[in-house]
Structure 1
Amino acid sequence: MFQMRIEPRVSETDGVGHINNTTIPIWLEAARNPIFKLFTPDDSFANWKMILLSIQVDYLSQIYFGTPVEIHTWVKRIGNTSLELYEEVYQRGHHCAKGKAVYVNYNQEKQVSELIPDNIRQELEKHLYS
């Protein structure tokens, strides 16, 4: 499992006093940075490999400003060219949101998906959701 701690910002708080629902997908994407780094070690957008195919977020409980949030990210499935991630958001140990994202390993120059290399697959397997 990959983990990231996020400090909610005042600007992410909406008029009813909790973190706005549009913020959670942004936090989930930020927590995927270690996975992006596996596919594009130099973080170069010219060489970027991870193309988002779909996301889903389920909101389970409110999240508030002033208390850190933990994002947990697992690899749910590894296909030939794509992978599915499963994510959970916690605040004060309470499960507040969950999500999934599907990415494809993509060659922008050739405009085709590519097989996930064995060395990346092995690293991803260390983070499989059970």
Structure 2
Amino acid sequence: MVDETKVVRLEDFVGQAYDKLRYGDTDRQGHVNNAVFATFMETGRVELIYNPEDPLLEDGFSFVLAKLDIDYVAEVLWPGTVEIGTRVTRVGRSSVTMSQAVFQAGRLCASAETVVVHFDQATRKSHAFSDAQRAKLAGWMRAE
């Protein structure tokens, strides 16, 4: 998770994406529903790991979500957009841990720790990363 005692900025993340807020994302209190934050985190992950200009995956493989732990810091209000930051914090044999954060107007609204597993669609089991994949994932880490 992001350490909220430190100033966290979108620029601290290798992967940067955004989502447009929809009226249907709001709840009776007039702010974006907490469940929508999982979709924000998905947008950040997908834009980084499924980038068609710099693919990480080979045909027949995908990622499955193993863990999503969200800390809510501040409300998000409609209308507008949110920015999503994503970076790799750990690479395992077949899993990768990511730190993610959601911002609105430069303000940190949520942080998350996300774990995804490299998945072989034919065997329906986890599959070890190749050396090339490990190198690419290592490049998505931020030096502290």
Please, what TM-score do these two structures have when normalized by structure 1?
0.88
In percent, how many aligned pairs have the same letter? 28
Equivalent residue number for residue 39 of structure 2: 26
| 1:35 partnered with 2:52 | no
Taking the aligned partners of 2:50 and 2:63, their CA distance within structure 1 comes to: 7
RMSD (Å) for aligned C-alpha atoms: 1.6
Equivalent residue number for residue 18 of structure 2: 5
Checking the alignment, whether the CA contact within 8 Å between 1:32 and 1:73 is kept in structure 2 is yes
Report the 3-state secondary structure (helix = DSSP H, G, I; strand = E; otherwise coil) of the residue aligned with 1:30: helix
Report the 3-state secondary structure (helix = DSSP H, G, I; strand = E; otherwise coil) of the residue aligned with 1:31: helix
Regions of 4+ moved over 2 Å = 36-42
Q: CA deviation at 1:14?
A: 1.0
Task: Choose the corresponding residue for 2:62, options 49, 57, 66.
Answer: 49
Unmatched runs of 5 consecutive residues or more in structure 2: 1-13
Checking the alignment, whether the CA contact within 8 Å between 2:56 and 2:136 is kept in structure 1 is no
Amino acid at match of 1:63: V
Equivalent residue number for residue 99 of structure 2: 86
Amino acid at match of 1:9: R
What count of residue pairs does the alignment treat as equivalent?
Answer: 126
Q: CA deviation at 1:31?
A: 1.4
Q: CA deviation at 1:41?
A: 5.8
Amino acid at match of 1:123: K
Checking the alignment, whether the CA contact within 8 Å between 2:40 and 2:102 is kept in structure 1 is no
Checking the alignment, whether the CA contact within 8 Å between 1:39 and 1:49 is kept in structure 2 is no
Q: CA deviation at 1:127?
A: 1.4
Unmatched runs of 5 consecutive residues or more in structure 1: none
Please, what TM-score do these two structures have when normalized by structure 2?
0.80
